[in-house]
Structure 1
Amino acid sequence: NKALLDNAARPSGALVYRTREGGNLSADQYERLKDELETGFSGARNAGRPLLLEGGLDWKALSLTPKDMDFLAAKNGAAREIALAFGVPPMLLGIPGDNTYANYRQANLAFWRQTVLPLCGRLAEALTAWLAPAYGDGLRLWFDADQIEALASEREALWGRVAAADFLTVNEKRAAVGYGPVEDGEGMGR
């Protein structure tokens, strides 16, 4: 593909010699034509130069055109591979035909849970280790996953399950959703 682009997206081909008499080029004509093509039209530097054909010469393309090579599909495939290397579900890239609404929602949730939050956790731990000596060992940096809109459905489901669990105490319910205990929170219900 790169060689084709270096050659101004012009595929290689062949010069066809046709005469009414059906003859061939002489040896001198053939060598002169070959030398002219090699010096004036080969290589990336000479890409795009017009070829002047005379005396019954005709250009016939022999290889695939850029459309036949389907650069868009190759570009989309490369984008998918790069996204996977960075932990991004390919359907989040917006490539046509890759996503439906349900798949997109699940991919977005997986992206946050499997890529973004672990990365944020590692970053927060590294910043905590770096800043703790200067600000005290009690320092702990962390992210607030409850503020992430993409995780709202998970959060709503958790709150619904915890609220419906009448066998848990108030403090157990608070602990299940990430809050600390309260005074008189050992009673059931509420």
Structure 2
Amino acid sequence: MIFGSMYESRSSLENPATKLSSKALGELLCSANGINVSPETAQKLTAVYACIYVLSSTMAQLPLNVLRKVNGEIVPATDHPAHYLLHDEPNQWQTSYRWRETKQAHTLAHGNGFTRLVRSRRGELQSLEMCEPQITDLIKNGSRWIYSTQDEDGAPLAVSPEDMIHLRAIGSGRRMGTSPIRQNAETVGLGLAAVRYGKEFFEGGGRPTGLVTLKDGKLTEEAWTRLKSAWNSAVQRLKGSDNKTLLLPADLDYKALTIAPEDAQFLETRKLTRSEIASMFNLPSHMINDLEKATFSNISEQAIQFVRHSIMPWVKNWEEEINRRVFTRAERLAGYYVKFNLAGLLRGTPKERAEFYRIAIQDGWMDRNEVRVLEDLNPRAGLDLMLLNVNTTLLGPDGRPLPVTNPE
């Protein structure tokens, strides 16, 4: 049998006695506090979900186009079959936005994102079918590597590496990525433990547990039984009630045993965990609504840092993987490639854009119609002529000023 069970992945198909893959072994990670940390449970933590959502939605909204470089000139390659699939509709179930958003989320949560390339018998690209990371693995069949996955009907399917877009998170291996959540299970587990503690604390009426003692230290067996029954009845009546006062007989003392949340720095622990999770995904804290240290003066710079240091590595990862799998070697030599447009993320304020355009036009490396296109305005006649600042002097190859000639 070629394929292992969807619940089991072996490093060798010929020898079932070999150890399970790291993905199967790491399916259930337990932190020191006994909380199960997995890609599914981790997303119940608000900070983890927010980080995955921000990165995934940002990658999904970037314009993605197929271009071609011909004789030094870059032109849109809208005639290539990959253009419609990447730009509009990769398959019948998803738009380009939804496909990229889901695949990026898979990569961030599970460490790997898989998309199967479906080609016709003539080799023409027909669709991009996304594969679930839980049921997809890279295995070795003899001397040949293949991806073991399932089709839409759940039937086993073998995919060659040339027909699989495999987006990887950072990991120690060459072939598979490692989930950031699994690499930082203790940090995520601490956040989940803090959430569980807060839930149990408030479910218990917001009161710490304690010790009830008898002042004189004498208590008969019958009195002890009656005391336990009265205590349990009183505690049960308090649940769900706005009255949080528990009345005790005069000869009983109550002493709290557990540490209050403020003493245990409950809120500070949650804030620290949120900051660490943002760092884990390489995100500025303000991107997940942690504005405690954000100011009007630095948040603009942090937005630029987000594009340069958080998004750009993923953009490069996507572009290189798509280019080497979607296009054949002959097509790449012919100049075909894909490119994400980050201009929208780097778009400044109206004042900043106006200053940028003014300098570009006066220095003569943009015309006014090019500016109108960038601002989603239609070109106008006569605005495609290049302007040059009158104070600028053109120099020839010998470094001497060129004579001013009449454009006519």
Which TM-score band applies after superposition, normalised by the shorter structure? 0.5 to 0.7
Tell me, yes or no, if the aligned pair for 1:89 and 1:111 is still in contact at 8 Å: yes
Query: Aligned match of 1:79 in 274, 279, 289?
Result: 274
What is the number of equivalent residue pairs in this alignment? 158
Larger radius of gyration: 1
Rate the CA distance shift 1:151–1:115 in 2: closer, same or farther, 3 A: farther
SS of structure 2 residue aligned to 1:102: coil
Query: Aligned match of 2:316 in 97, 121, 132?
Result: 121
Aligned counterpart, 1:95: 290
- Give the Cα–Cα distance (whole angstroms) in 2 for the partners of residues 87 and 158 of structure 1: 32
Where do 1:176-187 residues align within 5 Å? none
Aligned counterpart, 2:336: 139
What are structure 2's unaligned runs of at least 5 residues? 1-193, 234-238, 367-392, 396-408
- Give the Cα–Cα distance (whole angstroms) in 2 for the partners of residues 136 and 72 of structure 1: 56
SS of structure 1 residue aligned to 2:253: strand
- Give the Cα–Cα distance (whole angstroms) in 1 for the partners of residues 226 and 394 of structure 2: 97
Query: Aligned match of 2:306 in 70, 87, 111?
Result: 111
Aligned AA (2:283): V
Give the drift of 1:70: 4.5
| 1:1-47 CA distance string (max 9 Å, x none) | 545744635423221323xxxx222474797589x59xx69xxxxxx
What are structure 1's unaligned runs of at least 5 residues? 42-47, 165-169, 175-186
| 1:59-115 CA distance string (max 9 Å, x none) | 222333334444333222211111111111123333343111121111111110011
Where do 1:48-87 residues align within 5 Å? 53-54=248-249, 56-87=251-282
**TM-score where L is the length of structure 1:** 0.59
- Give the Cα–Cα distance (whole angstroms) in 2 for the partners of residues 143 and 159 of structure 1: 26
Query: Aligned match of 2:218 in 21, 25, 45?
Result: 25
Bigger strand share: 2
Aligned AA (1:85): M
Q: Which has the higher contact order (CA 8 A, sep 6+)?
A: 2
CA RMSD of aligned residues (A): 4.4
SS of structure 1 residue aligned to 2:306: helix
SS of structure 1 residue aligned to 2:304: helix
Does the alignment pair 1:16 with 2:213? yes
Tell me, yes or no, if the aligned pair for 1:17 and 1:25 is still in contact at 8 Å: yes
- Give the Cα–Cα distance (whole angstroms) in 1 for the partners of residues 220 and 295 of structure 2: 64
Rate the CA distance shift 1:83–1:3 in 2: closer, same or farther, 3 A: closer
Identity of aligned residues (%): 19
Give the drift of 1:131: 1.0
Moved over 4 A (4+): 1-5, 27-34, 48-55, 150-154, 156-164
Rate the CA distance shift 1:78–1:141 in 2: closer, same or farther, 3 A: same
